[in-house]
Chain A
Amino acid sequence: MTLTSSSHTDPSYRRLALAAVFVLLQLAVIVICVQIRQIPLPRPPESDRIEQMWRQGARGEWQPVTLPDHRPTAGLTPTITTYRATFAWSPDQAKTPWAVFVPRFTTTIEIAINGSTIEDTVRDPSKRRPDRNTPVLAPIAESLLKPGLNEVTVRLQVWGPLEGYLDSLYVGPDAQMRRAYDVRRTLFDTLPLILAAWQVTFATLLGIIWLNRRHESIYGYLAMATMLGVVQHFAGLPQSAIVAGLLGAMGPLEAALMLHYMLLLTGRRIRRRHAFAFMPGLVIIAAAFLLSPEHLRIVYLLLGPPSIGLLIAAVWIVLLAAVWQARRHAIYLATIFTAVLSCWALDVLTLNNMIAGERIFIGRPSYSLVLMALGIWLIWRFVQALKEADGFAAALVQKVTEAEDKLRANFAREEERARSEALLAERTRLMRDLHDGLGGQLVSIVALSEQPQPSGQAIGEAARAALKDLRLVIDAMEEIDGDLMLALASWRERIDTQLRAHQMHLDWTIRGPSGLPIFQNLRSWHVIQLIRLMDEVVTNAVKHSGGKHVAVTIETVDDTAGRPAGRITIQDDGHGYAADQTGAAGTGRSGTGRGLLNIRRRAALCDIDLVTETGPTGTRIELTLPAEFPSQTADSRSGKI
């Protein structure tokens, strides 16, 4: 498992340097693990140690043995080996209580003094787990001791996957053994319990995160792996084959979960083939239910430990690949895994008695520490993501605010632009409206006043016409919402005055309750054109008809499409106009003719249907207003005419 095997193809020095540093780091970690494993655990004084014991053989004979002693296992069937030894006790030592201390044993032991049992670890499930390095300290009741030699008997009961083992036996004053016992109990009993509790907490946290963020299955994998670790911690040694199978399947399942976790953590995607990692564990579970205990043991031995080894190796390869891709967090994780693998390797060496020192297993607690490290890592990552999300949200809020400000500024600018455009359009319109009427009339006044003999009456009439037009333009600027009646009302006042000045009479008739319908798209220029048109009609009647009455009738009729259309009829009782004066464009030179041309032009501009009837009894002009006034401006249309 070296990292430099294929690195020659990569020209990057940086990558090679990184690989070298990584390898050195892993070696350092392995050395550190070995060193930690070598740290001697405290023991009571050597004077209390009993090394030489008698062991009862299969046929009941007693053989001398030197501790530590190893015994073979017979699987689930327990085998019992009995050891005995003697120690001296004198009544003057009665002031201090005595105890028996066994630092390490597998699987369970029963301790008796002079034939009376003082401790049996079978009763305490947590002390019979062979992978825990649990010590036992059994106080000796003073009444059991007798002056002189006393006999201590140890019955070692062996079952399960591991061979039996009995470390040294210490008998002496309780106080001398208490320190060694307390240190070991803290390390191998209390600490694992704390770690297990911690694992439960982490598994819960990760599980909650996963349940709320299902797409982030990485949390789910680690939560389940952690949970399996907790179950294994609290489960006692199995009594039935099914429970044994379930417990045995947990290791491979946990390793498979770990592999998935690592794949996700290093940025890979989970593929369908990755599910095969769960196969060994599932097969073991199936075997537990379907096969006999003997076959289960074979299946377990074939699939259990090897698959764990393979999966852990796969995890390590995944991590190494990530390291190769220069992912910094992979270096951190790979280093942790190197530590765990080292510990497990040391355990294997211990198991096969290939390593000096006490028979202490450090794989399991180191794995617990790894789970903690991974959990912390993951939660750290989660919190970072939350922080990022917060930062992102804050940035977003700021961006939105900025965008809003910009939009507001744009809007204000646009509004300002629209306002100035509207102002310009208004100015253009006003100019056009004034030019058409008021301007011309004022010029006419100037011309009239400069004549050799200016006619006051002519000037007055022109000035009145100019004032009338000014009022019309002002009136037309007001919004009337398509209600032409409002504009006609003001017009009525103006022509009423005009007619009265010429001793003529206005008959104003509005038919129907409202006269004209509402015109949806009536614009002020329509109003001005219409009113000027009608002004010309009335002026013609005043100047040329010779009549005394002008009748204006306003009504609503149906147009050809059946829609309501307004009609305005203006009729005088004069003598009518000669036919040649009402003829086609270009022929009329008199005031009447020009007036009629103007009337036609304005009617055409607004799509007004104009009917002129003239005869000796008077002239009748009928204006049928369109249901919809043309939307084009007068300018664009006037070009066509």
Chain B
Amino acid sequence: MALADSQVIQPISVLIVEDDAPTRQRIVGALSNTADFNVNQAASFTEAYSFLAQTCPDVLLTDIQLPDGSGMDLIRRMRQKSDKTEIMVISILGDETSVISAILLGANGYILKDAFPADIADTVRDLLKGHSPISASIARFIVRRTQSRESGAPRSDLNTAKLTAREIDILWGIAKGFSYADIADHLGISRQTVPGYIKNIYRKLEVNTRGEAVYEALQQGLIRL
């Protein structure tokens, strides 16, 4: 441990944006247990915005519904400012609508509000290693969109055209509850590479034009996921 401490010259700066104080304290607490993280917190959009204006954190964790603005707007501005910052959305249910919308705007993953502290810290560390988290239901959601694109039936603004067959296979495996090891064995790839695929998938889904239009469309529900 001493060796690890000495290696971390600059702790990872994290900004947590969450309006509910107990929940915020919980997440802050989960990341403050180790010296790896330099945790900052904001309880509102304005607070977070002024923080981001001064500095650029390594990790941004944000709730979606804030009293004075939207976490989505924050994600968009963060992504406009920096490509390096890892962004996660804090979701109550981990549902597709919030998570996929955040991914479209540039988020790399999500955490559940009621996740156990150890899991929260692990998820953030994994993300920094390039391993984006994904749930079975989100994997299922994305795969469904690739199928509907092929059948041509319901229109979707979720652009799955760039996904490769292998990436879709991985998503299928996750959707059906197979472990990364099982999936890697099935596909004949290294077990360690599977989490990397997920981040790649998220990047491909991200809407390239990070302009106002996409954000507005998402806000008004014009973009059909």
Contacts and interface: CB of A to CB of B under 8 A. Distances in A.
Interface of A: 463-464, 467, 470-471, 474-475, 478, 483, 485-486, 488-493, 497, 500-501, 508, 510, 514-515, 554
A414 B101 CA distance: 36
B93 interface: yes
Nearest to B140: A486
Contacts of B177: 485-486, 488-492, 508, 510, 515, 554
B116 A493 contact: no
B176 A497 contact: no
Contacts of B182: 510
B116 A490 contact: no
Contacts of B136: 486, 489-490, 492-493
A474 B93 contact: yes
A474 B94 CA distance: 11
A269 B178 CA distance: 85
Nearest to B135: A493
A474 B95 contact: yes
Contact of B119 (A486, A500, A514): A500
A490 B137 CA distance: 6
Contacts of A501: 116
Interface residues of B, number: 19
A508 B140 contact: no
A581 B179 CA distance: 35
Contact of A471 (B93, B115, B116): B93
Interface string B165-189: 0000000001111110010000000
B150 to A, nearest CB: 16
Contacts of A554: 177
B114 interface: yes
A464 B114 CA distance: 8
Interface in B86-122: 93-95, 114-116, 118-119
A475 B137 contact: yes
A470 B95 CA distance: 12
Contacts of A497: 115-116, 119
B93 A470 contact: yes
A641 to B, nearest CB: 30
25 contacts: A467-B114, A471-B93, A474-B93, A475-B137, A478-B137, A483-B176, A485-B176, A486-B175, A488-B176, A489-B136, A489-B174, A489-B175, A489-B177, A490-B135, A491-B177, A492-B136, A493-B135, A497-B115, A497-B116, A500-B116, A500-B118, A500-B119, A510-B176, A510-B177, A554-B177
Contacts, number: 54
A448 B31 CA distance: 29
A568 to B, nearest CB: 11
Given A471-B93, A492-B136, A510-B182, A486 B116 contact: no
A508 B116 contact: no
Contacts of B119: 497, 500
B116 A489 contact: no
Nearest to A480: B140
Given A478-B140, A489-B136, A515-B176, 18 more contacts: A463-B114, A464-B114, A467-B114, A470-B93, A471-B93, A475-B137, A486-B175, A490-B135, A491-B177, A492-B136, A493-B135, A497-B119, A508-B177, A510-B176, A510-B177, A510-B178, A515-B177, A554-B177
B142 to A, nearest CB: 13
Contacts of A470: 93
A463 B114 CA distance: 10
Nearest to B116: A501
Contacts of B174: 489
B182 to A, nearest CB: 7
B137 A508 contact: no
Interface string B132-143: 000111001000
Nearest to A491: B177
B157 to A, nearest CB: 20
A536 B174 CA distance: 24
A510 B176 CA distance: 10
Contacts of B140: 478, 486, 489
Interface string B20-62: 0000000000000000000000000000000000000000000
Nearest to A515: B176
A554 B119 CA distance: 26
Contacts of B95: 474
B181 to A, nearest CB: 10
A262 B175 CA distance: 86
A478 B135 CA distance: 15
Top-7 shortest CB links A-B: A489-B177, A489-B136, A485-B176, A490-B136, A492-B177, A488-B177, A501-B116
A187 to B, nearest CB: 83
Contacts of B116: 497, 500-501
Contacts of B178: 510
Nearest to B182: A510
Contacts of A491: 177
Contacts of B176: 483, 485-486, 488-489, 510, 514-515
A486 B175 CA distance: 6
A429 B174 CA distance: 29
B196 to A, nearest CB: 20
A509 B118 CA distance: 25
A463 B26 CA distance: 15
A209 B176 CA distance: 74
Nearest to A490: B136
Contacts of A500: 116, 118-119
A475 B95 CA distance: 9
A196 B118 CA distance: 115
A486 B141 CA distance: 11
Nearest to A488: B177
A515 B182 CA distance: 12
A500 B115 CA distance: 11
Residue in B118, B137, B177 whose Cβ sees the most chain A Cβ within 10 Å: B177
A71 to B, nearest CB: 101
Nearest to A514: B176
Contacts of A492: 136, 177
A488 B178 CA distance: 10
A490 B175 CA distance: 8
A392 to B, nearest CB: 43
Contacts of A510: 176-178, 182
Contacts of B179: 508
Nearest to B143: A486
Nearest to A460: B114
Contacts of A474: 93, 95
